[in-house]
């Protein structure tokens, strides 16, 4: 069984934009997952990060939250496709929609729906010491807001990484490089 690094082609995809495999790989590595971790994936989108997390936390649970109905359907399809038993899908806006949890020690922010301040306030109550949050961000303003919140709540090991990935496309005998949009990957430890 393959444990890490699923190809983009392995997922069922819809109209919802999907985190590309390279950014997913970096995001997963920042999460520092162990088998017993439980994860909340906020703005789970297609569920590609949810799936990779669930494959790696066989002793934990992944909560996939998204406000978008299309996304919820796609996440459910991907969960079925990968035969995952340890995912709970919740439709709604985080942090309000996040169910009462026994414990969560890893949080992914793939989309915040304008609720960054409320999400970090929720995290301040729910994420224990040693817990890790990793955000993927495509706007400058939210990248800065996330950094500010990580500092405000005294997170440790704050990392800001910009990943600019270009991908070769065969053009006759030649390889033309096509750029993906840059993604900011911001992480910190409680």
Which residues contribute to the site for a copy of itself (CB under 8 A)?
Answer: 1-7, 21-22, 24-26, 28-35, 56, 138-144, 147, 158-168, 170-171, 173-182
Residue 138: name the closest of 157, 118, 164, 156 by CA. 164
* Least distance CB 169 / a copy of itself (angstroms): 9
Q: How far is the CB of 124 from a copy of itself (least distance, A)?
A: 21
Q: Are 29 and 91 in contact (CB under 8 A)?
A: no
Measured from the CB atom, is 69 or 173 closer to a copy of itself?
Answer: 173
Shortest gap between Cβ of 95 and a copy of itself (angstroms)?
20
**Looking at beta carbons only, is 15 or 140 nearer to a copy of itself?**
140
Phi, psi of 126 (to 5 degrees): -105, -25
Beta carbon of residue 99, minimum distance to a copy of itself (angstroms, whole number): 27
- In angstroms, the CA 120 to CA 130 distance is 15
Q: Going edge to edge, which strands form the sheet with 39-42? A: 87-91, 62-66, 39-42, 106-109, 132-137, 183-189
Pick the closer one to a copy of itself by CB: 79 or 116: 116
């Amino acid at each position: 069984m393959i444990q890490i690094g699923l190809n983009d082609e392995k997922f069922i995809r819809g109209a919802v934009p999907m985190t590309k495999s390279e950014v997913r790989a970096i995001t997963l590595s920042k999460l520092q997952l162990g088998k017993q971790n439980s994860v909340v994936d906020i703005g789970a989108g297609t569920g590609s990060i949810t799936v990779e997390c669930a494959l790696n936390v066989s002793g934990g649970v992944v909560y996939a939250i998204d406000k978008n109905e299309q996304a919820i359907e796609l996440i459910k399809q991907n969960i079925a496709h990968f035969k995952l038993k340890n995912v709970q899908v919740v439709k709604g806006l985080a942090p309000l929609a996040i169910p009462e949890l026994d414990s969560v020690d890893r949080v992914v922010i793939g989309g915040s729906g304008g609720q960054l301040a409320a999400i970090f306030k929720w995290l301040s109550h729910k994420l224990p010491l040693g817990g890790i949050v990793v955000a993927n961000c495509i706007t400058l303003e939210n990248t800065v807001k996330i950094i500010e919140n990580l500092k405000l709540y005294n997170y440790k090991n704050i990392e800001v990484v910009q990943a600019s990935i270009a991908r070769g496309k065969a053009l006759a005998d030649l390889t033309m490089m096509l750029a993906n949009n840059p993604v900011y990957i911001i992480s910190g430890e409680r």
